[in-house]
Chain A
Amino acid sequence: MSYKIMPKSALNDWVQHLRQKFTIVAPKPKHGQFVFGEVTDASEFALDYPSTVLPPKKYLVPTQEELLSYSLDGSHFEMRTEPVPTVVLGVHTCDLHGIKLLDRIFSQGYTDTHYKTRRNSLYLVSYECFEPCTEHSFCRSMGTLSATDTFDLHIINLGEDFAFEIGTQKGESLLEGFQSIFNVTEVDIERINTVHQEKWQRFPYRLDFDVTELAELLTNSYTSTYWDELGDICLGCGMCTQVCPTCYCFDIHDEVDLTLDGGHRVRTWDSCQIRMFATVAGGHNFRAEQAARQRHRFMRKGKYQEDAYGLVGCTGCGRCAQACLVDITPVKTFNELYKRRNNIAEKETEAK
Chain B
Amino acid sequence: MAQYERYIRPKVAFFDFTSCEGCQLTVLDSLQTSPELLDMIEIVEFREAMSERSNEYQIAFVEGSCTRPADEERLKTIRSTASLVIALGACAHLGGINAIKNLRPLPEVRADVYGDKADWYDTYAARPISAVIDIDGFIPGCPIDRDEFIRVVKMLLQGRQPIIPDHPLCIECKLKENVCLYLRGKICLGPIVRAGCGAICPTYGDGCEGCRGLITNPNLDSMKMVLEEHGLSFEEVEQKLSMFMAYQTAGIKSEAEGATS
Tell me which of A235, A242, A322 contacts B219 (CB under 8 A). A235
Tell me which of B171, B222, B225 contacts A238 (CB under 8 A). B171
Contact B182 A33 (CB under 8 A): no
CA A236 to CA B217, docked complex, whole Å: 10
CA A235 to CA B168, docked complex, whole Å: 9
Chain A positions within 8 Å of B52 at CB level = none
Contact B158 A256 (CB under 8 A): yes
Contact A290 B219 (CB under 8 A): yes
Contact A269 B175 (CB under 8 A): yes
Chain A positions within 8 Å of B235 at CB level = none
Number of residues of chain A lying within 8 A (CB) of chain B = 36
- Determine chain B's interface SS by DSSP, over half rule: helix
Contact B171 A242 (CB under 8 A): yes
Q: 7 closest A-B pairs (Cβ-Cβ)? A: A237-B191, A242-B174, A237-B170, A235-B191, A31-B179, A63-B175, A274-B167
Chain A positions within 8 Å of B34 at CB level = 258
Q: Is A239 an interface residue (CB 8 A)?
A: yes
CA A235 to CA B170, docked complex, whole Å: 10
Chain A positions within 8 Å of B180 at CB level = 239, 323
Chain B positions within 8 Å of A107 at CB level = none
Chain B positions within 8 Å of A256 at CB level = 154, 158
Scan residues 62-98 of chain A and give those whose CB is less than 8 A from a CB of chain B: 63-64
14 A-B residue pairs with CB within 8 Å? A54-B177, A233-B222, A235-B192, A235-B226, A236-B217, A236-B218, A237-B191, A238-B171, A238-B174, A255-B151, A258-B150, A260-B158, A275-B217, A326-B226
Q: Is A53 an interface residue (CB 8 A)?
A: yes
Q: Which one of B36-44, B106-114, B124-132, B246-254 is at the A interface?
A: B36-44
Contact B222 A239 (CB under 8 A): no
Q: Is B166 an interface residue (CB 8 A)?
A: yes
Q: Which residue of B lies closest to A258 (CB)?
A: B36
Chain A positions within 8 Å of B36 at CB level = 258-259
User: CB-CB contacts of A262-278 with B at 8 A, as 1s and 0s?
Assistant: 00000011010011100
Q: Which residue of A lies closest to B34 (CB)?
A: A258
- Asked if A30 meets B222 with Cβ closer than 8 Å, knowing A238-B170, A259-B39, the reply is no
Tell me which of A32, A232, A237, A274 contacts B179 (CB under 8 A). A32
CA A111 to CA B184, docked complex, whole Å: 41
Q: Is A124 an interface residue (CB 8 A)?
A: no
Chain A positions within 8 Å of B217 at CB level = 236, 275
CA A274 to CA B158, docked complex, whole Å: 27
Scan residues 26-52 of chain A and give those whose CB is less than 8 A from a CB of chain B: 30-33, 35
CA A42 to CA B144, docked complex, whole Å: 41
Contact B39 A232 (CB under 8 A): no
How many residue pairs, one in A and one in B, have C-beta atoms under 8 Å apart?
100
Contact B184 A276 (CB under 8 A): no
Question: B: which residues have CB within 8 A of A?
Answer: 34, 36-37, 39-40, 150-151, 154, 157-158, 166-168, 170-171, 174-175, 177-180, 182-184, 190-192, 215-219, 222-223, 225-226
Chain B positions within 8 Å of A276 at CB level = 166-167
Q: Is A25 an interface residue (CB 8 A)?
A: no
Task: Name the distance in Å between A53's Cβ and chain B's nearest Cβ.
Answer: 5
Scan residues 322-352 of chain A and give those whose CB is less than 8 A from a CB of chain B: 322-323, 325-326
Chain A positions within 8 Å of B190 at CB level = 237
CA A64 to CA B170, docked complex, whole Å: 16
Task: Name the distance in Å between B226's Cβ and chain A's nearest Cβ.
Answer: 5
Task: Name the distance in Å between A201's Cβ and chain B's nearest Cβ.
Answer: 29
Contact A236 B37 (CB under 8 A): no
Task: Name the distance in Å between A235's Cβ and chain B's nearest Cβ.
Answer: 4
Task: Name the distance in Å between A30's Cβ and chain B's nearest Cβ.
Answer: 6
Scan residues 263-299 of chain A and give those whose CB is less than 8 A from a CB of chain B: 268-269, 271, 274-276, 290
CA A128 to CA B170, docked complex, whole Å: 31
Tell me which of A32, A235, A243 contacts B222 (CB under 8 A). A235
Q: Which residue of B lies closest to A31 (CB)?
A: B179
Q: Which residue of B lies closest to A281 (CB)?
A: B1
Contact B183 A33 (CB under 8 A): yes
CA A32 to CA B205, docked complex, whole Å: 13
User: CB-CB contacts of A189-213 with B at 8 A, as 1s and 0s?
Assistant: 0000000000000000000000000
Tell me which of A64, A234, A259, A325 contacts B182 (CB under 8 A). A325
